Structure 1
Amino acid sequence: MASKKYLLLAGAMSLLAASSSFAQVTPVYDALDSTKVPASRQAQQNNFSNHQYDFPAKPRDMWELGFHGGLHLINGTIPARPGFGGGVSLRKSLGHTFSIRGEYTGSFDKGMDYRLRPAIYNNSTAWGTTAAANGGNIVANYKTATHQLSLDMIASLSNILFYKAQPKLNWYVFAGYSLGLIDVDVDALNGNAAYDFSGINFNAPRKDIKDQLKNLFDGDYEQNAPSQGNRGNIGRRDDNALLRHGADFGTGVAFRVSKRFNIGIEEKYTLYFDDYLDGYSSPYSNHKDAFSYTSVRLNFNLGNSSKRVEPLWWVNPLNYAYNELSAPRHMKLPTPVLPDADGDGVTDQFDREPNTPAGAPVDVHGVAKDTDGDGVPDYKDKQLVTPTYCQPVDADGVGKCPDPECCKNIAPVANCATLVLPSVSFKGSSTKVASDNEAILASVAATLKGAPSCNILVTGHAGAKGKKGGVDLSSRRVDAVIDYLADKQGIDRGRFIKQNTPGESSTVDLAPAN
């Protein structure tokens, strides 16, 4: 008997393994989707969406309709033969772990002893004729038909996962209440006569004894079995059904094939606290009979998928939290603060000179600026723009230009011809002298003060085609340079000569006019 039961289990597991090829991509439940939240919980969902409550509302989920069938046995006094059970169930989640299931199971069970036993007459005279013909002994047997209604609480054990988005296998345990309508009959007469067991060799091997008894019994099961307590007036024969309250418990595993379908295997025990479910109560023990039901279950999820998620025992409640950590959509994230050890405005990750002093001007790479290219950074350079002919410079960035005393007797024209003056750059359509250019013009002013006889040609460029708009912009930039040198540096305006020519429109060139 046990080997047949295990064979059924092995076959069901093979079916589950074969169905793995149909498994689909794991869906991700979006806790921000309010379309799957019922109206009664929308207030909580709104508070969650507006960061006024930490937890999303529980969504609507589908119901599960199941069909089941499998091996049904009575664990009792009389050895059981393989029986069959089948039925239908309806299951609804209460949360991610607990759910409730209502179920109907119909079953047929048979059993036959291989020993002579004293006859039992509790509420029945079924065995009277045969027992009288065999010295008060009988070979007990039974046929039991059952209608069972169950209401079970189920706890899922494997849907809260830390390393997967969604379970493919769902292990569960359950317990609950069962109401059984149990019809137990016995084959006590050979037609209308008693069975004669004198021709049976009860010292033979058990299998041989059973074969002899099978040939002897007619399989009519024409008598109501002995029973304990009252019978209901329902059943194959009048007054032949036991109405019993019981407790059931068990365990099972379901394999998710798709969003709508899963296959399961379940083992269920039902205790009705009655010793007459197999029609015989041993006088030597107080053992109570129990139903054992090993079933294969085909389960279907019911409901509109646009308004309901899968049953919650298939939804990992950590799924949303992990997805939010990976790709935040709802979390309030602080403004990132990137490290900048020297405070120059260039983060350490991109800073090529991470130790520049505070306040030192730097370029986009965090390297201290060196405007005149003399090798001394601006923050150390005491002569910000040193002419090339005055370089190399000392540690303070001051160039070694010829002593002015040597130039006193040189004609002004010759002095002006040696002047080298830089250009001033403007950005975009700006006409304002930028702070970077102020240092350049300060150096120009110093040079002009040293050559008071030199006039300066200030040349603006109107672009390659010399359009009217370009001429106007160029003129305003020329005026801005002259205004800065005259108003800020004290150079006589009469020394400047203005002109506009085609060329690079972003610059204003300074050159000696003498």
Structure 2
Amino acid sequence: MSYTQAQTVGSSYDIRDSSLIPTRRLAQHNEFLNNAYPFPAKPRNEWEIGVKGGYTSGFTSVANWGPTGGFGFHIRKALGYVVSIRAEYDWIRLRGLNYQYSQSYGKNSALTLPILYPQQANGTYAPIFYNYRSTVHELTFQALFAFNNINFHKAKTGWNAYVFVGAGPMTYGTLYKQDGSYLQGYQNVINQFPVEDYKHKGDIRSALKNVLTGNWNHIAERPTTSAKLGGVPLTIVGVTGVGFEFKLNDRWNIALEDKFSFTGTKLLAGQQWQNNYTPGSTNSIAQVPSSDKYNFVSLGLNYNIFAKHAVEPLWWLNPLDYAYNEINQPRHMKLPKPILDDTDGDGVTDQFDLEPNTPKGAPVDTHGVSLDTDGDGVPDYKDKEKITPTQCQPVDADGVGKCPDPQCCKDLKNLIDSAGLGYGHKCGIGDLPSITFKGRSVNLTKEHKQLLSTVAQKMKDNPNCRVAVIGYGESSKAAQQLSWDRVNAVINYLVEKEGISSDRFIFRYGQSGGEENTIDLKDATGEEGPNTVPAPHPNLRRK
């Protein structure tokens, strides 16, 4: 599999691609593929090379003289997803110029030569201004620690941050702009700006730059005991810093970095003796208290190399990417055979069962809902008349319908009714009470049952009478179902508790023109209507 293909499989790379695994880690890779070891082998990853350039500044006994620069290049290799190592070479240029003069430089043999600044007759030295230019060659080996690629909320990042520490050898060559002819120019600056005048140090330095017009050609003081390389001092430097990389694509990135270097010398500026000046007192000489340091702020361009059968440098990859992708869409892990619950044993698992409490043995459809072959609202396992003709519906609670009389029977009935002998005539039941419920209740109270007992007695005393039980509420599905529940509760009580035949009732719910919490009972002799009606919205029924 090629590099491009490996990068486009999944978010980072194909964890199963053996061509990405070094030979020494193939054993672990094979165990992983065979599910004998849970951790995948670390893939082969690219090296990084880069160049940089930027601004430098020194921290020495001599103040900086304007901006200076440097450049460098490096090669970097990941040891893991966090730690990597880097070898880096940097060329650094530093310059300095003091705004205060010094006289106590008698211990600096590079400045007290008879041809330069000899000791005066009174035993003192003429006032001069320290200056230097140093060229540094630095080779360091660094450990870098990345901390933005391990991310719990996204697969990859477009930038990375890191810190680093390291050490290595460095050489430096320091030169002065010094000549005996500068003495008069120094004195003119001193006469123009008294040493106590700290407010004009910028003007002093500008005046000194007009004096120091020669070349950097005088070798500065060097340590007598240190090692040398190519005739210049060789010492050890320690570095630390922080950097930010911004990804351009899978090959290129740019880096902004700040590196601070700690040297092992006090002569990077060519001065290890400093002039301690206190206004109103004589000058004294003291050794510089600490070694010199410098800083390098750079902008670099980096490129990934050795791409064949390798992934990006590991500090760009998220090691959690494989784990999250495997959890989301398993391709490698062994999954147990799923066991899905079927609580009611109807053959439809609970997660798909729309009626999870179907009685045992009840026939159901593919959604686990009880079959209702004739669509009369009574499921087949309760239906005593499984195929009720449409014209015989609605049905009673057992699913049994009441078919209309044939035409001959209707003609006979009309004849009987016209003679005043038929069912429904001569009804003297009179006015019947209403039942009023509270809130959304459907339960009959003790007072309700007493009223219904009087209704039952009237119906027993008038066997030719039919009664319409009327509920109101057509404004919503919930109101219609509540009306049905209350009408059903009244009729069921009169039938089951008072022994009145269900044929003597007309079931009316969801009517308009009345109070929704009231159930009216009225004489319905001679009227037609069903004595039972399926619940309009059974899922909204009040228990």
* Same fold, TM-score > 0.5, yes or no: yes
Given the alignment of the two structures, is residue 130 of structure 1 paired with residue 117 of structure 2, yes or no? yes
Percent of pairs identical after alignment?
Answer: 42
Cα distance per residue 1:170-198 (max 9 Å; x no partner) = 1111101121111111122157x866522
Aligned to 1:360: 362
Residue pairs, 1:256-267, within 5 angstroms? 256-267=247-258
Moved more, 332-341 or 57-66: 332-341
Offset, 1:369? 4.7
- Counterpart position of 2:298: 295
Q: Is the 8 A contact 1:392 1:399 kept in 2?
A: yes
Q: CA shift at 1:107, angstroms?
A: 1.7
1:341 counterpart = 2:343: yes
Hey, what's the Cα distance between the residues in 1 that align with 2:245 and 2:34?
A: 38
- Given the superposition, is the C-alpha separation of residues 393 and 64 from structure 1 closer, same or farther in structure 2, using an over 3 Å criterion? closer
Match of 2:18 in 1: 34
8 Å Cα contact 2:104-2:125 kept in structure 1: no
The Cα shift of 1:221 comes to: 2.5
Report how many residues are paired. Answer: 371
Pairing 1:77-92 to 2, within 5 Å after superposition: 77-81=61-65, 82-92=67-77
| Deviation of 1:225 (Å) | 1.2
**What residue number does 1:100 align with?**
85
Residues 273 and 399 of structure 1, relative CA distance in 2, 3 Å threshold = closer
Cα shift at 1:79? 0.7
Matched, 1:145 2:116: no
Task: Supply the distance in 2 between the matched residues of 1:309 and 1:216 (Cα, whole angstroms).
Answer: 59
Q: Distance in 2 between matches of 1:393 and 1:40?
A: 80
SS at match of 2:257: strand
Asked whether the equivalents of residues 128 and 183 of structure 2 are also in contact (C-alpha less than 8 Å), the reply is no
Kindly report which structure 2 residues correspond to 1:412-491, keeping only aligned pairs within 5 A, or say none: none
Give the Cα separation in 2 of the matches to 1:154 and 1:392. Answer: 83
Q: Distance in 2 between matches of 1:392 and 1:257?
A: 75
Shift of 1:29: 2.5
- CA gap of 1:187–1:397, structure 2 versus 1, over 3 A, is closer
Alignment correspondent of 2:45:
61
1:162: how far off? 1.2
- AA aligned to 2:90 is T
Q: Which residue of 2 aligns with 1:250?
A: 241
1:314 — aligned with what? 316
Alpha-carbon distance between aligned partners in 2 of 1:292 and 1:343, rounded to the nearest angstrom? 77
User: In structure 1, what is the Cα distance between the partners aligned to 2:395 and 2:203?
Assistant: 120
Query: How big is each residue's C-alpha offset from its partner over 1:70-112, in whole Å with a ceiling of 9 and x where there is no partner?
Result: 1112111101122111121000000000000001111221111
Structure-1 separation of matches of 2:73 and 2:394: 98
Q: Which residue of 1 aligns with 2:214?
A: 219
Matches within 5 A, 1:138-287: 138-190=128-180, 196-200=185-189, 201-203=192-194, 205-230=200-225, 239=231, 241-281=232-272, 282=274, 283=286, 285-287=288-290
Kindly tell me: are residues 384 and 254 of structure 1, through their superposed partners in 2, closer, same or farther at Cα, counting changes over 3 Å?
closer
Does the Cα contact within 8 Å between 2:127 and 2:186 map onto a contact in 1? no
Map Cα deviations across residues 1-21 of structure 1 (whole Å, 9 max, x no partner): xxxxxxxxxxxxxxxxxxxxx
Distance change (3 Å), C-alpha of 1:366 and 1:90: same
Partner Cα distance (2:354, 2:386) in 1: 23
Contact 2:228 2:234 survives alignment (8 Å): no
**Could you say which residue in structure 2 is the equivalent of 1:438?**
none
Distance in 1 between residues matched to 2:354 and 2:219, nearest whole Å = 99
TM-score normalised by structure 1 residue count: 0.64
Instruction: Write the letter of the residue equivalent to 2:265.
Output: D
SS class of match (2:117): helix
Could you tell me how far apart the structure 2 residues matched to 1:144 and 1:44 are?
53
Identify if the C-alpha distance between structure 1 residues 348 and 178 changes in structure 2 by more than 3 Å, giving closer, same or farther: same
Q: CA deviation at 1:285?
A: 4.8
Gaps of 5+ in 1: 1-23, 401-514
Q: Which moved more, 1:120-129 or 1:351-360?
A: 120-129
CA-CA distance at 1:159 after TM superposition: 1.1
Distance across 2 between alignment mates of 1:121 and 1:101: 44
1:329 aligned onto 2:331: yes
Q: CA deviation at 1:50?
A: 1.4
The 3-state SS of whatever aligns with 1:300 is strand
Q: Deviations over 1:456-505 (max 9, x none)?
A: xxxxxxxxxxxxxxxxxxxxxxxxxxxxxxxxxxxxxxxxxxxxxxxxxx
Which deviates more from structure 2 when the two are superposed, residues 289-298 or residues 109-118?
109-118
Contact 2:149 2:315 in 1 (8 A): yes
TM-score by length of 2: 0.61
Equivalent residue, structure 2, for 1:116? 101
User: The residue matched to 1:46 in structure 2 has which SS?
Assistant: helix
Find the residue that maps to 1:29 and give its secondary structure: coil
